[in-house]
Chain A
Amino acid sequence: MIEYLIFAVFAGLLLHGIHRKAIARIQGRPGPPVWQEILHALKFSFKETWIPATASETLFVAVVLIAIGVWSTALFVLLTDGSLLLLFAVYMLHKIVEHGLGLSSGSPYGKFGAIRSVMSAASEIPLFATIAAVYLVTGSLMISDIQAWQVAHGPLLFTALPAAIALYIVVLAKMHYSPFAVIESKEIVSGNVTEHFGVWRAALDAAFGLKTFVLLYAFILIFLGPMPLLLAAAVMVLLLLSLSFICALTPMLSPFDTVTIQIGVAGLIVVYVLLAGVIP
Chain B
Amino acid sequence: MTAAITVDGLEVIFDRFRALKGVSLEVRSGESFGLVGESGSGKSTLLRAIAGLAPVASGSITVNGKTLGARRDKAFYREVQMVFQDPYGSLHPRQTVDRLLQEPLAIHGFADGEKRIERALDEVGLGNGFRFRYAHQLSGGQRQRVAIARALILEPSILLLDEPTSALDASVQAEVLNLLEEVRRRRKLTFLMVSHDLAIITHMCERLMVMQGGEAVENLTAAQLVAHRVAEDYTRNLLRASEGFVRA
Q: Is the A/B pair a real complex? A: no
User: Which residues of A are interface residues toward B (Cβ below 8 A)?
Assistant: none
User: Which residues of B are interface residues toward A (Cβ below 8 A)?
Assistant: none
